[in-house]
Structure 1
């Protein structure tokens, strides 16, 4: 059953904090999952959250840190000494510890690292901090199980027992040579059924997917999704095994990328959350609103320039909102499919075949909508030539919108710009302006204006 926070629980915790009943606090919270405790701390004020954090054992609070909202974690870390933070990090795997240290100021980083008890753990964390956070090196774990290709099965098992002590889950057993270069992986089944005197070199699997330290995290996610991997090894420029990336790390990458793309599609220029300040939210949202404002001004100028056409054929202006909305929807739908294809690897670059397919969809959709529009206009207004002009304009505008929605994200992708930008205000406002220009140009040609 999923845990849910109640008002009664929050009140009870606040009373225990005021009375200083640490034992009862521990009893109440120890049986809860660390993610549930993090959710509780998010609901408390920073002083109360810090109090509970210090009461609980560091083995539990280390995991809680990872689940907290960014602002809560930041404020709790400010209230902890470098030694207390180091005690938390000693309980975490290297990549999680590195993520938390990366949030600290330069001086605090050095102080915390100097307080870490495990020297090897500290070295691994420092090593991870030098990688870009959006690369394989930035999200990998240093903890893994590796064996030498020249070992016997017996030696291999002994060494694995030692290495596995500090690892929560063993996804794969990696095989390396004397220079630590990745050679392949070892099947647990083969290890169990093979003679203890057999050499690892004779039984390991040589075919293995791996990524380099500078591979982008979204590319790592695509590879792991394509080959249905629970973990993937990471190698450096010389092919040496330096870490591994597990499926839970990739879930975080996919979630973050989806959130970023969703915000870009909505016209939000930087990563923000509901808890951010009014100023931060405004800075993230205002740029595209201003761009849209100036582009739509062009559309208003086009409308003003066609005042004579409105005077003669009033129904032309009536269908402008319908035209803008339909063209915008067609463009956003086309760009959304392209962006999805680029994200999952089913579409890699411009393809005439794919463009032809999108134009066919736009043509069929446009024809159906235009026929319905022509019938409606003829029945209501009984101006058949005007209805024909509007309907033909609608088809052309829809075809243009489908083309723009397909080509723009492909162009952005080719130029290393996130194509998700093309699924939002960019396509909508562009279609408004160009659609209105095409609409009146075609309508006036047919009506002889």
Structure 2
């Protein structure tokens, strides 16, 4: 950030060196928890621990959740479980507490839960830990303002004040029936415009948008986007209100998912950061490189079987990069469109046939244009009829195959509940290289 200039950091380090706690507290008071977490990145471990001990419980908990995963794990390893429970968990919303506890082993989880003073909070955390972390239930928090549809306005206001005392933000006021089933949302504007209404159910907004506990996170994100929400209630299988998800939580999940998909599409087998160790980065990058190496060896074997043809017609070798590169590019384009459609909800599996036909139409146009241009180029520059026809026909076939393959693979992965982002990376490129060479060699030698 601009505020963290070299002069600012040097000044902060000098304050720490002088053990001027009051001055350090004054500077920390002005910073947002996210800014303090960023400041940690430029301080050494001793300096980071020094300023962390100066934070009050609530701000310390917020800073902890803003830290990178690796930095947070390092800090938690140095702290006793009782301290984690009493100085961090007690000040966190249940969704943040669950995220923190999930990072620990089962024994540590049980010990931390045993040290939480608030029995209700501990019970909520235990309940949330039962949900899959990739569903709405695993992402939701239980802090919310809830009123009964049969309450009068004065009683409603009284309950809202009591519930709001322990909350940082109030996004919506949810209305439930006597069985705690979600009935509507109480607009805060109604408190002013209808102060004497007899019951809340007469002014509430009925049938609010909601998600179920087993709704996948990507569907929750689409719900936020579609209805422009800042929070969404979460209900169980019979409609009872069990929690809520806020927009900041879903945005964090969307960002993490986007990073995972981007890395997966780039040929990284697991999450990796620029500051990870050499071993971790190698472990994440090497698998696809090895697969690519075997793909290259396979191509060399294919080309070796047609060695006699290269001796007879050396010009064939000139177009190997063109065939492989075109097939890989077309396949990545097709798969990227499908993966994006699956991710944002514009493409559903029931429309797979329609998408395949559309992609085939695009492929036919692209194949005709590309093969025609190459045909004209080779006809005037090479003058070799056999090579001209074989290269153009191979390009036409490769483009058609790569388009269909790039469309079918992510759809197949989606059907089998495998991340389709795999299809936009090296997998498509390597496969199209091998198939493209087989097509090129087969057509060329058939014409020869």
Q: Could you say what secondary structure the match of 1:268 adopts?
A: coil
Structure 2 unaligned blocks of 5 or more: none
CA contact (8 A) 1:265 1:421 kept: yes
1:133 corresponds in structure 2 to: 133
Worse overlay, 421-430 or 271-280: 271-280
2:262 corresponds in structure 1 to: 262
Change (3 A) 1:25 1:190: closer
Q: Could you say what secondary structure the match of 1:221 adopts?
A: helix
Q: How many pairs are equivalent?
A: 446
Superposed, 1:153-192 pairs within 5 Å as 153-192=153-192
Structure 1 position 13, deviation (Å): 2.8
Q: Could you say what secondary structure the match of 1:248 adopts?
A: helix
CA contact (8 A) 2:173 2:185 kept: yes
CA contact (8 A) 1:328 1:401 kept: yes
CA contact (8 A) 1:141 1:245 kept: yes
TM-score (norm 1): 0.94
Change (3 A) 1:253 1:315: same
Worse overlay, 402-411 or 46-55: 46-55
Structure 1 position 134, deviation (Å): 1.5
1:232 corresponds in structure 2 to: 232
Structure 1 unaligned blocks of 5 or more: none
CA contact (8 A) 1:136 1:215 kept: yes
Structure 1 position 107, deviation (Å): 4.1
Alpha-carbon distance in structure 2 between the residues aligned to 1:353 and 1:132: 33
CA contact (8 A) 2:93 2:141 kept: yes
CA contact (8 A) 1:150 1:199 kept: yes
CA contact (8 A) 1:50 1:79 kept: no
1:309-345 Cα deviation digits (max 9, x unpaired): 2112211111010111111000000000000000011
Q: Could you say what secondary structure the match of 2:205 adopts?
A: coil
Alpha-carbon distance in structure 1 between the residues aligned to 2:115 and 2:47: 26
Structure 1 position 201, deviation (Å): 2.5
2:7 corresponds in structure 1 to: 8
TM-score (norm 2): 0.94
Alpha-carbon distance in structure 2 between the residues aligned to 1:259 and 1:161: 40
Worse overlay, 129-138 or 316-325: 129-138
Superposed, 1:109-148 pairs within 5 Å as 109-148=109-148
Alpha-carbon distance in structure 1 between the residues aligned to 2:45 and 2:109: 22
1:441 equivalent in alignment to 2:442: yes
Structure 1 position 367, deviation (Å): 2.0
CA contact (8 A) 2:98 2:128 kept: yes
Q: Could you say what secondary structure the match of 1:43 adopts?
A: coil
Worse overlay, 233-242 or 341-350: 233-242
1:398 corresponds in structure 2 to: 399
Structure 1 position 4, deviation (Å): 4.1
Worse overlay, 2-11 or 217-226: 2-11
CA contact (8 A) 1:260 1:271 kept: yes
1:425 corresponds in structure 2 to: 426
Superposed, 1:363-402 pairs within 5 Å as 363-402=364-403
Change (3 A) 1:112 1:415: closer
CA contact (8 A) 1:46 1:76 kept: no
CA contact (8 A) 1:135 1:213 kept: yes
CA contact (8 A) 1:49 1:76 kept: no
Superposed, 1:257-296 pairs within 5 Å as 257-296=257-296
Structure 1 position 91, deviation (Å): 2.3
2:216 corresponds in structure 1 to: 216
1:80 equivalent in alignment to 2:79: yes
CA contact (8 A) 1:46 1:75 kept: no
1:249-268 Cα deviation digits (max 9, x unpaired): 11011101101111110121
Structure 1 position 197, deviation (Å): 4.3
Structure 1 position 403, deviation (Å): 0.6
Structure 1 position 236, deviation (Å): 2.1
Worse overlay, 347-356 or 33-42: 347-356
CA contact (8 A) 1:268 1:288 kept: yes
Alpha-carbon distance in structure 2 between the residues aligned to 1:108 and 1:13: 35
Q: Could you say what secondary structure the match of 2:71 adopts?
A: helix
Alpha-carbon distance in structure 1 between the residues aligned to 2:368 and 2:49: 63
Alpha-carbon distance in structure 1 between the residues aligned to 2:338 and 2:393: 27
1:173-217 Cα deviation digits (max 9, x unpaired): 211111211122222233432253421232323222222222221
Q: Extract structure 1 runs of 4+ deviating beyond 4 A.
A: none
1:353-384 Cα deviation digits (max 9, x unpaired): 32122122222222222222122222322223
Q: Could you say what secondary structure the match of 2:184 adopts?
A: strand
Q: Could you say what secondary structure the match of 1:113 adopts?
A: helix
Change (3 A) 1:287 1:348: same
Aligned Cα RMSD in Å?
A: 1.9
Q: Could you say what secondary structure the match of 1:369 adopts?
A: helix
CA contact (8 A) 2:143 2:244 kept: yes
Alpha-carbon distance in structure 2 between the residues aligned to 1:13 and 1:106: 39
Alpha-carbon distance in structure 1 between the residues aligned to 2:406 and 2:216: 26
Alpha-carbon distance in structure 2 between the residues aligned to 1:6 and 1:234: 43
Worse overlay, 200-209 or 257-266: 200-209
Change (3 A) 1:8 1:173: same
1:91-136 Cα deviation digits (max 9, x unpaired): 2211112222322344443443344343333332232222222111
